[in-house]
Structure 1
Amino acid sequence: MTWRPLLAGAACVLAGLSGLSGIARAQPSPAPGDDKVLRVCQDPNNLPLSNRALNGFENKIAALFAQQLGWKLEHTWFPQRMGFIRNTLRAKEENSDRYKCDLVTGVAKGFDMAATTRPYYHSSYAMAYVRGKGLDGVRSLDDLLALDPAQRRKLRIGAFAGSPVTDWLLQNRLMEQVTWYQSQTGDAEQYPGEVIEKDLASGKIDLAFAWGPIAGYFARNARTAPIAAIPLVSQPGMKFDFEIAMAVRHADKDFKQRIDQLIVANEAKIHAILEQYGVPLVDEQGKVATAPPAAKAP
């Protein structure tokens, strides 16, 4: 019998013991909230969702949850673009086993990079235009297509690349009239609401398509021009409405259950906050459930 297999086997056993020793020495990450701190992951410049000044509705809802838990509220700021989850929910503090944050306050239902809570609102993409510029009768995509062809061909349209509206624009041969915007740019000073607050209001474009909460907020808070924001109704094969939830790490099941309970217990308060920010809400069929309020967000 050769001795080589015996040495190889011994080496495997030692390696296995070494690995087990390493596992034994590893410290598990602290559970979310074990120190009475609610750590949220949010975008520092994306109103009406969130910003560093805590003026967004996600900021307000996070503060509400922290208050009810009796916990301190802390933020990890990172732009919601490529690498957001990697740099927030999955990132640990330097020289620590604790994660930087434990709760992402806005993801689409079914988001697969984390475990999602129950949805806390349901909204839709919207189209926005300046009132009094010839589009006041447009209340739906069908109305837009019913415009005189010459008027429709002159429209300068703003839309976000890769958004659900892209297929509709392509199907209706409007792509050549579109100025494309990026929701995930490399410039931290840029924000999605610029398409409405700056370019639409100034007349650079005539019609903008944007996520409903963004369109509703900037339309209601427009200072230089009266802007209408019309929620889009999903069509066969084209979904414009989405349910929005929060996200935690897959392993944090108890924490997810606690957030679910807070969402249920605060349904009325959350709804009031969303209405205050002009968020268009839709029902289960994707039809408008509430009209954006006239009051301006704080």
Structure 2
Amino acid sequence: MAISLCAGLLALSAPAKAQDGASAQKILRVCQDPNNLPMSDRQDRGYENKIAELFAGKLGWKLEHSWYPQRMGFIRNSLKAKIDGTDTFKCDVVTGVSTDFEMGLVTQPYLASTYAMAFIKGKGLDAIKTPADLLALPRAVRDKLKIGIFARSPASDWLLKNGLIAQMVSYSPQTGDPDQYPGQLIDRDLANGTVDVAIAWGPIVGYFARQATGAPITVVPFKPSEDGIRYGFSIAMGVRYGDNKLRDQLNALIASSQPEIAQIFRDYGVPVTALPAPIAVVAAPS
């Protein structure tokens, strides 16, 4: 009878222990944009999606997403927002921030890239191998070009510096329309002739040039810094202030995953520049 009673208690306790183990599984909660290829989208087709999957796999953690357009209010509605009625934050890691991110702790950078220009092959611009080559075109040719750029970007600075404002077709970097995405400059307006040349952040240009289904698109990167204009930037991850442990875990993953990350960027056509030297770790404010 005692043996039967013990067996019954063990049978009852086993599921409870299994449930406790399941609930204790660690989760990598990432804050990502649902429509921002090549960085991320809700179908997990972006390179930030792939890097998050890689890191969760290496940690042995479950991967969860919090989706919000990465524009005004993104951090407030993702990294700093809690799930309604709970003390649990919607997410713990922003997978793409600049290294001067000030709204949380920043990891070491995992990507360094630069702005790039793109044009369709066979349309009279094939001699352009550097941005300076566009400036050297005959004036009659250059003055007819429609050059698509995002406002308040290094691309607009380059046009202004070189007297090409009359050729500028300006796009808003934050339209407020969640259905719009930066790559439309390449895969729609460059492809259909609305613009002759597009200048944007290199990962966007490289990815959508590779995805083009019509005429081939040439990608010409800018140097990271030239003529007093900065075109190159480093991308890292961000966590909340005080979450030093998670920041350090991500730093270790970034360091140990360089071959896999480099392959992801090759798969996405991302123009990569040299990563800067490791930055000093900044302690969380008390």
| RMSD of aligned residue pairs (Cα, Å) | 1.4
Superposition map of 1:114-129 within 5 A: 114-129=104-119
How many positions carry a matched residue from both structures?
A: 253
Structure 2 letter corresponding to 1:120: Y
Asked if the contact 1:140–1:232 (Cα under 8 Å) also holds between the matched residues in 2, the reply is: yes
Partner of 1:60: 50
Distance 1:71 1:147 in 2: 54
Q: Of 194, 200, 206, which residue of structure 2 is paired with 1:210? A: 200
Partner of 1:228: 218
Give 4+ residue runs of structure 1 displaced > 6 Å after superposition.
Answer: none
Partner of 2:133: 143
Distance 1:129 1:37, change over 3 A: same
Structure 2 letter corresponding to 1:122: A
Partner of 1:49: 39
Partner of 1:260: 251
Asked if the contact 1:81–1:185 (Cα under 8 Å) also holds between the matched residues in 2, the reply is: no
Partner of 1:185: 175
Deviation at 1:176, TM superposition (A): 1.8
Structure 2 letter corresponding to 1:175: I
TM-score (norm 1): 0.83
- 1:249 and 2:240 equivalent? yes
TM-score (norm 2): 0.86
Distance 2:231 2:181 in 1: 21
- 1:278 and 2:269 equivalent? yes
Consecutive unaligned residues of structure 1, counting only runs of 5 or more, are 1-32, 286-298
Task: Report which stretch shifted further, 109-118 or 55-64.
Answer: 109-118
SS in 2 for 1:281: coil
Identity %: 54
Deviation at 1:100, TM superposition (A): 0.4
Q: Of 100, 104, 114, which residue of structure 2 is paired with 1:110? A: 100
Consecutive unaligned residues of structure 2, counting only runs of 5 or more, are 1-22, 277-286
Partner of 1:97: 87
Distance 1:227 1:254, change over 3 A: same
Deviations 1:189-247 (A, max 9, x none): 10000000000011111000011000000001100221011111121420000111011
Deviation at 1:57, TM superposition (A): 0.6
Deviation at 1:102, TM superposition (A): 0.3
Deviation at 1:175, TM superposition (A): 1.1
Distance 2:44 2:55 in 1: 14
